[in-house]
Amino acid sequence: MRNVNQILAGKPGRLVTVPTEAPVLEVVRLMAEHHIGSVLVMQGDALAGIATERDYARKVILQGRSSSDTPVSLIMSSPVLTVGLHDTAQTCMALMTERRIRHLPVLDAGRLVGMVSIGDLVKAVIEDQQQEIAQLQQYIAG
């Protein structure tokens, strides 16, 4: 089973972050521009929270707030559940299932180094299973 470090190695290195004072409208634009469902919210170099499409729908639209006047700090989810580089895909999937979340920021020695999504984890598990099946087929045929 792959660990988070191996999964991150197969992803592009970009992380989309915004400061806590960024307007929600900017956050939504970034999500659309990058085709992502969440943005990490930073207070300087520290992870302050995560803003997701779900946060936008529930905390802006349903509460009648203005996207251009509301800072992301008012709608972000915080504290953020995080994982480390050595956590396994299976551990991450269990956390996501239990907490009903789709994104996990990755910290290394307290520093933000990446993020894994449910899509990243499903892809890794499928690739691992395909490799195992191929090895078993070779073993049986050999």
- All structural domains of the chain, each given as residue ranges with its CATH number in brackets, are 4-141 (3.10.580.10)
79 preceded by a cis bond (ω within 30 of 0): yes
- pLDDT, residue 80, reads 95
Q: Kindly state the helix (H) or strand (E) to which residue 41 belongs, with its residue range.
A: strand 38-43
* Type of residue numbered 72: V
Cα-flanking dihedrals φ and ψ of residue 11, to 5°?
-110, 155
- pLDDT, residue 128, reads 87
- pLDDT, residue 105, reads 97
* Residue at token pair 């992301």: 72
- In the chain, the percentage of residues whose pLDDT exceeds 90 is 87
The contacts found for 101-108 with CB under 8 angstroms, 24 or more apart, are: 102/37, 102/38, 102/52, 103/37, 103/38, 103/50, 103/52, 105/40, 105/47, 105/50, 105/80, 106/4, 106/8, 106/82, 107/47, 107/82, 107/83, 108/84
Q: What are 4-54's pLDDT values in tens digits? A: 999 999 888 789 999 999 999 999 999 999 999 999 999 999 999 999 999
Q: Average the pLDDT over 104-126 and give the result.
A: 94
pTM, full prediction: 0.87
Residue 108 CB partners (closer than 8 Å, separation 6+): 84, 85
